[in-house]
Amino acid sequence: NAGVTQTPKFQVLKTGQSMTLQCAQDMNHNSMYWYRQDPGMGLRLIYYSASEGTTDKGEVPNGYNVSRLNKREFSLRLESAAPSQTSVYFCASSLRTGGESYGYTFGSGTRLTVV
Partner 1 sequence: AQSVTQLDSQVPVFEEAPVELRCNYSSSVSVYLFWYVQYPNQGLQLLLKYLSGSTLVESINGFEAEFNKSQTSFHLRKPSVHISDTAEYFCAVSGISYGKLTFGQGTILTVHP
Strands 10-13 and 110-114: parallel
11 belongs to the binding site for partner 1 (CB under 8 A): no
Nearer to partner 1, 38 or 79 (CB): 38
Cβ neighbours of 61 (radius 10 Å)? 16
2 belongs to the binding site for partner 1 (CB under 8 A): no
> Residue 39 in 3-state DSSP?
coil
Residues 45-64 interacting with partner 1 (rule: CB under 8 A): 45, 48, 58
CA dihedral (11, 59, 66, 64) in degrees, to 10, reads -50
Q: Please state the closest distance from residue 88 (CB atom) to partner 1, in A.
A: 9
Residues 77-96 interacting with partner 1 (rule: CB under 8 A): 90, 92, 94
**Chosen residue from 18, 84, 100, 113 binding partner 1 by CB under 8 A:** 100
Cβ neighbours of 8 (radius 10 Å)? 11
Residues contacting partner 1: total by CB under 8 A: 23
Residues with Cβ within 8 Å of residue 62, at least 6 apart in sequence = none
34 belongs to the binding site for partner 1 (CB under 8 A): no
